[in-house]
Amino acid sequence: MAIFPAAAQSAHITPFPQTERAARKAARQWFAGAPTLTLAEWRNQAREHHCAALPFEPHRNAVFNGAFACEIATIIAGGLSHE
């Protein structure tokens, strides 16, 4: 089982904390599984799934994409341990 570095925490307060959490979780799931989609396809699918259950907010997609990218960077920079 992969051990990931601690989840990246936003340095700012966001109006969409659920969206940031969902994005970070989606990024970790891509690395934890055996992906059959590209990273971008996985992100888009996860974002669409998350946003479908919420009221439309144009900024929500950007928040999801930003949090997803930050979590990917944290995982890559922190490395993975398969202990």
Each residue of 23-77: pLDDT tens digit? 999 999 998 988 899 999 999 999 999 999 899 898 999 999 999 999 999 999 9
Residue 10 has pLDDT above 60, yes or no: no
Cβ neighbours for 3, distance < 8 A, ≥ 6 positions apart: 80, 81, 82, 83
Domain ranges of the chain: 17-78
- pTM for the predicted model, two decimal places: 0.77
Residue 80 has pLDDT above 50, yes or no: yes
Would you state the pLDDT for residue 35?
84
What would the two tokens of residue 9 be? Answer: 């925490």
Would you state the pLDDT for residue 81?
47
